[in-house]
């Protein structure tokens, strides 16, 4: 069962979700029905809203994904991240390769992106759950309204919008209202599309340049 949002999300996010007619009630009903029908879904309930654990005003960079990894054991509630010890999905492997090329850092030994989240990188999928083994299966079930409300709150906050890294068409559509001066767009890091312009796009150094220009401390992207 999905836990109450106020028990997982930082309180600063709650006004954004209060603007939704039903909050996440309809999504909770949908997930309960999936469980009752024997259809397992990911990530674990306690991790579904994990991206919102950090305060809204401390978000420096938002990286948008589409939906969680459908492979059991992979999705952890942070877009593109996996748990320590889990083999890297190919998209994440490509992200790390670009980071090495962009910043000249060593290859990470873990796909756990928690250190990015703790520095103010919001790793947000537009859809926050998925049926186990069935990619894209929970699109159109209501999550888009929830994550859309979160993105509007970021765009409209007093201190200004964060830098937005938009990988792929879905992310670019989701983040279309961000000020283009603070947006870094490229094809998705998936093996199917990385060769179309993700390689060489330098999103990490470009994001830090934008932060520095705004007088904000850059992200330490290098991972152990």
Which sequence positions are flagged as catalytic? 67
Give the sheet arrangement for strand 121-125, strand by strand: 121-125, 61-65, 163-167, 183-186
Cα–Cα distance measured from residue 103 to residue 30, given in angstroms and rounded to the nearest whole number = 43
Whole-number Cα distances in Å, 117 to 22, 54, 56, 177, 200: 28, 8, 12, 23, 24
Closest CA relative to residue 125, chosen from 90, 87, 159, 76 = 76
Report residue 155 as tokens.
């765009």
Beta carbons of 146 and 49 less than 8 angstroms apart: no
Write the CB contacts of 214 (distance below 8 Å, at least 6 apart in sequence): 160
Beta carbons of 152 and 131 less than 8 angstroms apart: no
């Amino acid at each position: 069962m999905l836990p109450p949002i106020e028990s997982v999300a930082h309180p600063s996010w709650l006004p954004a979700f209060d603007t939704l007619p039903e909050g996440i009630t309809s999504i909770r009903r949908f997930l309960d029905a999936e469980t009752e029908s024997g259809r397992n879904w990911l990530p674990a309930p306690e991790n579904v809203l994990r991206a919102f654990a950090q305060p809204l005003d401390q978000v420096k960079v938002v990286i948008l994904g589409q939906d969680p990894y459908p492979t059991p054991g992979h999705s952890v509630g942070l877009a593109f991240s996996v748990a320590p010890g889990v083999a890297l999905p190919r998209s994440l492997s490509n992200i790390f390769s670009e980071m090495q090329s962009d910043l000249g850092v060593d290859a990470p030994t873990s796909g756990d992106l928690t250190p990015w989240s703790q520095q103010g990188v919001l790793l947000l999928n537009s859809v926050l759950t998925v049926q186990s083994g069935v990619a894209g299966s929970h699109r159109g079930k209501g999550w888009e309204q929830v994550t859309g409300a979160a993105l509007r709150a970021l765009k409209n906050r007093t201190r200004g919008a964060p830098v937005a890294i938009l990988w792929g068409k879905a992310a670019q559509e989701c983040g279309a209202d961000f000020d283009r001066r603070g947006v870094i767009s490229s094809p998705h890091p998936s093996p199917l599309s990385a060769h179309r312009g993700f390689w060489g796009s330098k999103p990490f150094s470009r994001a830090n340049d934008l932060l520095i220009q705004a007088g904000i401390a850059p992200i330490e992207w290098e991972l152990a």
